[in-house]
Structures are given as structure tokens and as C-alpha cells.
Structure 1
């Protein structure tokens, strides 16, 4: 028999999955609606954060990619042949999502790559499969690899900032300890016969590991780089170590013999610098305004070569294309979107290989927001394609190119505003005009003062208040007042010392903010409890602050009800706050205790059904604000929350978008199931009773609060329900009257025949009828349906 709508996820629809947290004499109201999968709003991407190049046994040049996955799909190792442009090998990895670590070892002709989740893999050209080398140091992600000339592979980790090595000859790992005390990322490596140069984050530090003694010796950068954040890339070229530092992107040239910095090239375009050319005279890198330049290692001067690929380099290699247009060795550059650019220094010929044949994976969703146009907007992790716009009216998804990684959404008037990572960009999109990155939205305003992730938005007058998280290795988020019309930005950092601002709400001209004890990645918090604060937007002064939940690490979300009470969530505890008394009035742990670094389950919504809906601890919850009881609607990795104009709820699981559609028929779990012939009455006193292929000879009666689900069944007798928690008749023939009065959980009568009268009254919501044949009179709501 035809179903009314898609089958929902059973785990999300257990009508009796209710957790009472207060005096709850009355049973909880039945669940209304069902989960609906909307697929992947950003269906595919090719993103390989790190790349390397090498050759196969015949000397054919190859590029190596580890394209990012998501929570449902691991990353994928792929190989491009630079001569043919073909993808010659591809394998979905058994584990690991992202990789920032890849190196080709000329010593054994093998590529090694590591995952930020800690796995290490290898592949030798010609192998049928990738080799898993294990998780060498549980709890440590691998963030960079480099192979020494003798074949030993060195790696850097986070959060320990450790240097390790792997010897392919013995299969043994060794941990050489933290490269620089207090530095949590060993972010870049350059290995030679004698040692390993290590660059760190969150403070830009340079150290050398002596392979013979096992000791580290730190090298001081020039004084002007003392507050820089990271040594990001390095290349050894003859006696020189070239290193790029952020945020300036200056290239520092260090003479390893004299121990002096001999040159600085300001503001190159990341990332990597090439190895020396075959003559050992030049290295190459890119400067955005001039293109690729050749740096003379003898004179320490550089000049453009007339090649300007619209991409920044991820890896360089000197390659033999075996092509008369590319005689000798050509310079190949990879780009993290799966693209390859080649240039020949003799003929000046160029070649471009696109990413068409590489396989990506859907982007992991970072945040959802509802626009003033009624659409649901979807931001995603390191999103090359852009952000997505889902139109609830048509059910269609469109892509808005160039948005980047969105951390938070807000609205004013007809405008959607959003915050972008990195570098805390603020963008303003007029939804009444077509999307055109660069003009609508125009250039980003920027929150300075070491901010990186604008996560929370609230309108206050003509301004947008923005809560943000600082850069890696920094404590102290900010409350920023931004005027989208003028671009003016006023930032108040450390409104709560050493904490980030991750949730905001406005009432009567005042701002209410929630904090996280965490700062940027790579630094331990010093605060121990998250706070709720009240701030004057005119001055940025904090008028009042309180710890709403003892021991809470983040105040995840804030919203006001119609009576002016502020509701919030902190680490699984729901609380209320009276703005007049400036006091927390109630706090109870309604959800499992969990928190992320920044409290990204920061959305709470009151619907017109009187319930509060919350995402917390990986689930979507319905909260009765009177009884303080909760019902779990959806589970298994739920994050973020948005609502459309019809009141339907949107949330994410990894890269997938879901909707809790209140118009859909629920799929309850049966407490009692009746099948086959059944002589006599069926009385549903509590819970959910299902008739599945049943033939009932007798009346069916549903008591208040109970649920009846009858499918592909016959009933010879009346069906009566008063105050039921829900009634579903799907593919049923009833010989006798049907009466449904005062149901509070929904009534669905589909593909059903009633030989007798049908009467419905006082049901909320109103009944849904499809393809119903009634031989007797139809009365009340069923007549109107």
C-alpha cells in the first residue's frame, strides 16, 4: 500500500523516548512530524589540503592527493599521471578524514601520508592498495611529513607539537619529543642527512633537531617576527633554509652555515617554495601581484618569469613530461583543489590539468541560518564550491560560489550577514538581488585584534553585534559592533577575560552574550567556567556577568521567550535568566553532558506550538517549557539548527541536511503488534499498538494519550479514539463507524475504506486524508479535509 511520505529514521521517532526532569504527572505529548533527509547541499568537492609529487618505477611524474572526506565518508588517496593527465590510482581510505601531511621518498620510491586523526599510510607506485601503517601516537594528529635522503620519514603532530620518525627499513616509530616547549603544532618540517628543521604554531618558532644527539636547538627569528603565529612552509636550497611565516607571509632566508638571516622577501603568496632548479641557482615561489618569480640563490634577488597561474602552490617538482614542447625538466605546481600547472623554463610553454577526474566528497556542514527570504543557508568546512541555499517552497538547492567557510549567520531587513573563517571576515548579502561574490556580497569587513571565527550575530539598532573566537594560539574573543552600511567595525576584546563570545541575543537595546572558555586551537584555556554577560552596545561595557551553570565550558545558545525570559544551554544544562533581576532562575541538566570547543550547538527556537527546540549533545530535543520535560526527536550526530517560515526545523549530520517536517506522518515504534486474525475487541490503553496485516473482528478503541497505527488491515467493528496521542489508518478497511475526537498527536487516514460514517472533531493538528472512500456520512474536520 502506498505510503504518505518518506520513511523516517526509526531511532529519531520513538514516541515514548522522554526523559522527565521535574514533577511530571501527565504523560508527555506525542511527537508530531518526522525526519526528512534533504541530501547533501554541497554534493561534491575536491579538496586536498596537502599534496606531494614523485615518480613511478619508469620515471613517469605523478601528483599525489588525499582528498578530504567527512564524518560519513573517509578521505581518498588519488594519483594523477602528469604526462597523460589520467588518474591512475584511487582508493577510499579505511579511516581518516583530512590530511595535511604528504611526502614522496626518493629513497624507496614511496609516498607517505598522514591524517589529522592520527593514521599513517604509504603507497608505492604499482601497488594494488594503500598500506596502513597504523596510528603511531594515539591522541596525536599528523600535521606534516618529510622524508630524509636516507629514507627515514619524519612527522610533526598536534596537539603535542611532537617530532616523530618512521624507519621503513625496520618498521619502527620513534617519538623525539616536543619540538619547542609549549608549542602545540609541529607545523612544517624539512629533513636532511643530519637533522630536521621544525617550524611551529601557535607561535612562530624555528628549531633544529640533531639526528645524532637527539637534541633540539632553537633558532631565534628576526625580532619583528616575535609575535607571528606560525612557520608554515620551509624549503632547503643549498645552504639556505627558506621559511614562510604567517600572518605576514614574509619569506625569510636563513644561512644554515653562518646562522644568520640574509634576506627577507615581504608578502609572498603561500604556500610552498620550490626546490632548486637542476642547476642549483634558482628557487621559485609565487607573489600574488606578479605571478611566479625566480629567486637567485647567489644574489638574493628575484624576478617574475611571466607565468601567473591563478592558484597558490601546494607542492613543486621538476618533472620530465617526455614532450618536445616541454624539453628537459619542467616545473610542476599543484593546487589544493586538485589542479596542476606546468611551466617549461626553456620554451615558456605551460600546461593545465584540471580536477575533473578526481573524486571529492560532500562538504561537512559548519552552520545553518535562516535568511530573510525564507531560505535556509548552509555553510560548510573549507568549502571550495561556496555555501548552499535551500528553498523550502520549491525543495531546490542552489550554490552560492565563493562564500568560503561560514562560521555563523545573522539577518537584518532583507540582508543575510555571515562570518567567515579565517581572518574573521564579515559579509553582507542583499537577498533581494542576485548573488555575486565581490559585489553582493561586497568585500568583507574584518574584525581585527587577532580574531578568526565570527560565530554569533544579533541585530541591535542599525548595527550587527558579532561574537568571535580568536586566532590559533590566542585567548580572548571579542564582541564587535559592525555597521554593514558603512563597513565600520568597533571591536571590544576580552569582554570576559580570556574567553570567546559564542552566542548572542538582544533585548531592549542590551546585548546578552554567552562565552566559551576556549580560545583558538592550539592553546589551553585558563578560565574554568563559561559566563553569561550583559553588555551595553554603545560602550562595550559589561554591565553584569554570571556563571549560569557551575563547571560549564560553553554557553551554547541563547533565546528570549515572549515574556522576556532568557533561555540558554550550557554543557547539556538548560537554564533561564531574569533580565530584570539579573539572576539565573532555574537550571537543570536535561540533556547528556557534552560540549564542543565553542559550543556550536548554539541555536534554540520557540515554535508556535509552545515548545522550545534545542540541538544539544548530538540530538534534536523538544522541551516542554512548563513541565521541563524533554523528548528526543533525532539523534546520531545532530548539529546546528534553523527554522523555516512554516516552522519546520533544519539540522545537520556531517555533510547531510535534514528537516524535521511537522506535516509528515510520524513512524512510531510499536509497543504491541497485532497480526493475522484477531477475534474480539482491541483496546489501546497506553503506548503504541500496531495492526500490521491484521483482521480484527470486533471494535477498536484508543484511550487518551495512546497511539494506534493500523496498516494493511481490516476491522469489522467501530474504530473510536478520544484524546489519542495519534491515529494512523493506512490501507485499512473498516466495516463500521470511525470516530476520532481530540487527538493531540496527529490523524492520518490514507488509502482507506470506511463502510459507515466518518466523524472527526477537535483534533490538533487537523486530520490528513488521502484517497479515502466513505460509504456513510462524513462530519466535522474529516469533511473539511
Structure 2
């Protein structure tokens, strides 16, 4: 075990980050040879945000109601907050992690949680009385991610894993782990886990199985779920016993519908609770009711009458407030001191760090900001809008983006999607695609920015039936329509090329344009869409192709004109762009910058930018970017986490940075790049 260095996060830390965001202090990060080396200027964090994706409520020994929260960022943070005041009672960074996985509270008050990336499967404990935070282990059971911890009556912690769909337990009395093994060869995740009448129930995905395991013997049985409930279900994402019922959340069915199993009869209820978001159901209140957020409204399931009823929540200010946030990942029934006593309230913590409360007796509400310090979010999408400014999307965020002003290089925070993937311009408007479900928003930058209204939602291709698409990485305007290249859903191979009319919302999906491959990069010219593919499909899928392809698609004829293997070792062909004299350029996973004839796909020139074995064959390659710089006669490109300048005349390669993910050229000619968290201004050196 490793005890972490702890302490409150000072306000000065946040102030320093904000100062860094505005500072323009130039420093050569890595330089090409020549009289004037390239300069890479760090403009500070691309996006600062509070991003609570895991939360659990509890009561301290003195009766203080608290919420424990993990805020994703670089690094992730763990905070204990007083629910009634929003004050931070304890806070610490979690070095080596950027993402939380679960938080659960044992009967003795001990908090267990998991965090990861780049750390693998980190398991932690926190003692609220002593404020001792301990890293128990990492890479638990040889796994990468731990999911949905739950504690049995005898104090043992159980959780699921990825990528081998295991169930594992941890005994805090002995410090021993027990590996119950992979639950199925058909799925990579045990994503949900709950304790049901002393058994450990585990739900898998993206092939759904529901198992009940005897924690002593390890013997198990499969719990059968009626076919009527399993329609368009690939995952069990939540399991919670409330009274004599088990509430089971299903995905993607209906946006996380919840099915109810009556333990006394073994029968599943005919009705479902629709569209239950990111939170488990609350504990029961004094009337035996457990609460969920269904379609954004607080809804009660009565465990005594097996009935679902509404509350007065819809008539308060809370729905409108929460609609502006990505989600609420933790809700609970609590008795709060002051005006709420002795009546109970439902309390929640939103992704933005707002603690909200709804009093079950009076209908009164409150909203207060929790003192959770922001962290740099992971930069994910990068593109240029019609105003010439660069726009940046965040990875699994609380709904954050940013804009880099082309004139001043100032970074402005914006509201955005949970995860902004591809960003481009079409028909004079800004296009932002997002995950999950392959979503498209389009915005008029002459109007005020109000995410959800402007940019407005235009399309969700959707997980599950009928199209099974999840991430849009390739995007290009074809003039009258927008072309979208996608990676499929979890467990699926076969991306799609979608043509979208953003004015009307009409679209057509062409799946398996290149059989079994994802489409990750697109360009367009004269009625032809050119695309690069990746052999990898959705997460937890097995590739069916050995090498990626470059292809040309005739938009009017709706057919492939040609398909080319530019490198037998390429796991992806990304970073498509136009070079001089109309050549089509791309970058491959195995470190080749290739020029091709757009009429035939024939390779006319290759430059090796990195050793073939250094690339990631199974990556999607969405961050590969290529820009032709006519002034220097060179390509500016990112691939496999490096920033290159490739001089076309002599094929020399200069590495400008060994830690850079993406690059674009904005409307003023600035090269704007991002690494994991920060944004940079790149100035090319003299060519000599």
C-alpha cells in the first residue's frame, strides 16, 4: 500500500492555473535544425473544469451529511464535501490518474474508490475520521479498469473489471484479493455489480449476461431476463436491490431504461422505468420509496406497492438547471439539518459540482456550488470554425469546450458536449460532433453561444439498432451536405459513411463502405469523398482486417470508386489532407507520410516519420493531422503523439515536439496544437 501525500488544494493552485491560461510565455520545446528553430509556445490548459463523474453520499459519525466525489482531470481529484454548506472538508489530487471509476461507502464508513489512466486499475481507500487516503493497489488482477464496487455485510469489497470481464473481491481485514475469474468469453466488461440477498450479481457488456455468484464458493448461475426487456440491450449498467426488488439498468435500450425483478416471485415487472441517467437508485425513504432521475425528472419507485409515481420535482427550478449540465452521477435520500428536519430530501451532485436538494415534504429546493477545485481536462477534438478561430473539445468532460482567438491567442471557455470529437466548418456554420451515440451539433457563430440551442442538435446516428455507430472522427463539407465517418458501437466492427443535410436533418447511412473497417478521416473534392480507415472497430471488438485502407466515394453515384492499401502494416490511415499540385496526403499508424494520386489511390511518394514498430496498430488514429505549409514547402503533421515538420523537397523530417496530439492551422495562419491537456502556438523555423 502507498499512503498519499495529502492536503487541501489551495485557492492559489486554481489561480495559478487561470494565470497560466492567459499567459503567453514562449519557450522552444523542441527545435528543427537551422538558423531559426521552430518555437512551440505553451498557452496553458486548453480547458479547466470540474467534472464529477463519481459521487457517493454518506453521514459522518457526528451526523454531518457529506458527499464524496471524484472529479476527472489531469490529475483527477478526490474531495469530501459538506452537503449543507458546500465546504470542502478534505481534498487531494490522485497522481497518475485522470479518470474515476466508482465510489462506494462501507458500513463502517470507510470509502473505497477506483481511479485510473495512465495508472491501471487503481484501488484506493479513505478513512473519513482520520483523513487517511491510501492507494491499496494498482493493476488489480492484471486488469486495466475496475467497475461498480459494492460491499457485503461482512465488509468485503467486490467489483467488476475490464478487459477480461472478471469479478474480484478485496478483504480489508487481511489485505487479500480473490479473483473469481472471467465471467464470460463473449464480453470484455463486468460493468455493473450489486449485492442481492447476499449474492454478488454481475452484469456484462457489450454482450449482456447477468450472473449471480455465491461469494463463498464462487459458484454462479445466470439470471434470465425476458426477451421483451432485452430488445436493443447490449449492457447491464446498474444493479441495485431495494427492498424485495432488484432494479437493473439496461443500455442502450431507451437511454438506460430500468427493469424491475420481484425477488419474492422471480417475475420481472411488465413495465420499465424509462431513461434512467447516470445515478443508481437512492436508498429507500421512510415510506419505502427509492428515487431515480427518469427522463430528467425525479421519479419514485415504491418498494411496498411496486408502483412508479411522479414527484413535484417537475414544477421546481431544478429540471431547467440540471438540463444545462451533462448529468448527475450520484443521488441519495438524506435528512438535512435546519429547515429540512425532520423531513427527508433527495440530494444530488451534478457534473459541474452543484449540490442540489429537493425536499420530499415541502417541495422546496436548493442549489449550492461544492468547493471542488477545477483541473485541466483532457483535450480531445480540435478544428477551425467559420470565424477562423480554433475550437477544442474535451474528453469525457462536464460539458466543456474552448475557443482560441486567432488574433490574440487568448483561450476562452465555452459550454459544450460531454466529449467533443471532430470539429469543422460547413455552410458557414461550426460543426461539433460528440460521443456517445455519434451526435452532431451545428452553430451560427454570429449568434450568442448557448450549447444545445446554438450550437443546436441536428443528428444522433445512435448506438444499437439500426446503425450501431458511436464516434464521429471523420467530418468534411461536401458543399450541400456534411460527410461523417464513424467508428461503430462497442463490440461492433464496420463503421459508416453518413451524408447529412444540416438544414433539414435528413441523412443517409452507408455502413461497411470498406467492409469491417472504421472511417476515421475524410476530405472532399469535386463530388468525391476520400476517406481513411482503421482496422479497429468499437471498443471490445476484434478486427477482421489486417491493414487499413484509403478509399474514394462518389457522392452522387453512392459507390466506392477505388480502394487502396497504402501500407500493408497500417492499422489506420489518418490525417487526410490536400498537398501541393492536388496530391492526396495521409499518415499511417506505422509512421509513413504518403502522397497519393486522388484519381487512382496509387502511392507516389512516402516519407518515414517514425519507425514502423513505434506506432499503435490498434489505434483509431483520430489525432493524426496533416497541414500543407506552402511558404516553407513542408507538411506540419501530428501522428502517434509527435509533432513533425516534413520538408517535401528533400524528405527531411524534423520532430518539433515529442508530446503533441493534434495540430490545425487557424484562419489567421497560426498553427494551434494540443497535447493531453494544454494548447500551444507553433511557429515554424526558417527553412535555411
For the criterion TM > 0.5, the same-fold answer is: yes
Q: Which residue of 2 aligns with 1:123?
A: 126
Q: 1:539 offset after TM fit, Å? A: 4.0
Q: Secondary structure at the match of 1:519?
A: coil
Alpha-carbon distance between aligned partners in 2 of 1:477 and 1:385, rounded to the nearest angstrom: 26
Q: Check whether the contact 2:420–2:435 (CA below 8 A) recurs between aligned residues.
A: yes
Query: For 1:171-186, what aligned pairs fall within 5 Å after superposition?
Result: 171-186=175-190
Alpha-carbon distance between aligned partners in 1 of 2:61 and 2:504, rounded to the nearest angstrom: 60
* Equivalent position to 1:615, from 638, 645, 668: 638
- Confirm whether residue 630 of structure 1 aligns to residue 653 of structure 2: yes
Q: Check whether the contact 2:643–2:657 (CA below 8 A) recurs between aligned residues.
A: yes
Q: Secondary structure at the match of 2:45?
A: coil
Alpha-carbon distance between aligned partners in 2 of 1:335 and 1:197, rounded to the nearest angstrom: 27
Query: For 1:97-176, what aligned pairs fall within 5 Å after superposition?
Result: 97-106=98-107, 108-116=108-116, 117-135=120-138, 136-176=140-180
Distance change (3 Å), C-alpha of 1:287 and 1:132: same
Q: 1:518 offset after TM fit, Å? A: 1.3
- Confirm whether residue 53 of structure 1 aligns to residue 57 of structure 2: yes
Equivalent pairs counted in the alignment come to: 641
Q: Which residue of 2 aligns with 1:261?
A: 268
Q: Which residue of 1 aligns with 2:599?
A: 580
Deviation track 1:626-647 (CA, whole Å, cap 9, x = no partner) reads 32221111222x0111102343
Q: Check whether the contact 2:24–2:43 (CA below 8 A) recurs between aligned residues.
A: no
Q: Which residue of 2 aligns with 1:421?
A: 435
Q: Which residue of 2 aligns with 1:642?
A: 664
Deviation track 1:219-242 (CA, whole Å, cap 9, x = no partner) reads 232213154122112210122110
Query: For 1:331-370, what aligned pairs fall within 5 Å after superposition?
Result: 331-355=346-370, 357-370=371-384
- Confirm whether residue 246 of structure 1 aligns to residue 269 of structure 2: no
Query: For 1:428-577, what aligned pairs fall within 5 Å after superposition?
Result: 428-448=442-462, 449-571=467-589, 572-577=591-596
Q: Which residue of 2 aligns with 1:599?
A: 621
Q: 1:598 offset after TM fit, Å? A: 1.2
Q: Which moved more, 1:424-433 or 1:570-579?
A: 424-433
Q: Which moved more, 1:650-659 or 1:417-426?
A: 417-426
Alpha-carbon distance between aligned partners in 1 of 2:222 and 2:542, rounded to the nearest angstrom: 23
Structure with greater Cα Rg: 1
Q: Which residue of 2 aligns with 1:271?
A: 278
Alpha-carbon distance between aligned partners in 2 of 1:598 and 1:181, rounded to the nearest angstrom: 24
Distance change (3 Å), C-alpha of 1:59 and 1:227: same
Unaligned runs of 5+ in 1: 17-28, 667-725, 727-743, 746-785
Q: Check whether the contact 2:28–2:40 (CA below 8 A) recurs between aligned residues.
A: no
Q: Which residue of 2 aligns with 1:288?
A: 295
Deviation track 1:47-71 (CA, whole Å, cap 9, x = no partner) reads 121111222222322110011122x
Alpha-carbon distance between aligned partners in 2 of 1:100 and 1:616, rounded to the nearest angstrom: 29
Unaligned runs of 5+ in 2: 1-22
Alpha-carbon distance between aligned partners in 2 of 1:97 and 1:333, rounded to the nearest angstrom: 23
Alpha-carbon distance between aligned partners in 2 of 1:346 and 1:564, rounded to the nearest angstrom: 70
Q: 1:599 offset after TM fit, Å? A: 0.2
Distance change (3 Å), C-alpha of 1:348 and 1:409: closer
User: Which structure has the highest helix share of the two?
Assistant: 2
Q: Secondary structure at the match of 1:443?
A: strand
Q: Which residue of 2 aligns with 1:737?
A: none
Q: Check whether the contact 1:121–1:132 (CA below 8 A) recurs between aligned residues.
A: yes
Q: 1:11 offset after TM fit, Å? A: 4.4
Query: For 1:83-102, what aligned pairs fall within 5 Å after superposition?
Result: 83-102=84-103
User: Over aligned residue pairs, what C-alpha RMSD do you find?
Assistant: 2.3
Deviation track 1:604-640 (CA, whole Å, cap 9, x = no partner) reads 011122111110121111111232221111222x011
Distance change (3 Å), C-alpha of 1:510 and 1:142: same
Alpha-carbon distance between aligned partners in 2 of 1:488 and 1:192, rounded to the nearest angstrom: 46
Alpha-carbon distance between aligned partners in 2 of 1:9 and 1:41, rounded to the nearest angstrom: 17
Deviation track 1:739-767 (CA, whole Å, cap 9, x = no partner) reads xxxxx54xxxxxxxxxxxxxxxxxxxxxx
Q: Which moved more, 1:330-339 or 1:59-68?
A: 330-339
Q: 1:492 offset after TM fit, Å? A: 0.5
Q: Secondary structure at the match of 2:620?
A: coil
Query: For 1:204-243, what aligned pairs fall within 5 Å after superposition?
Result: 204-224=208-228, 225-243=230-248
Q: 1:192 offset after TM fit, Å? A: 4.5
Deviation track 1:300-333 (CA, whole Å, cap 9, x = no partner) reads 2221121243345423333332335320544333
Deviation track 1:515-564 (CA, whole Å, cap 9, x = no partner) reads 11111222232222111111111243222212211121111211122322
Alpha-carbon distance between aligned partners in 2 of 1:258 and 1:79, rounded to the nearest angstrom: 41
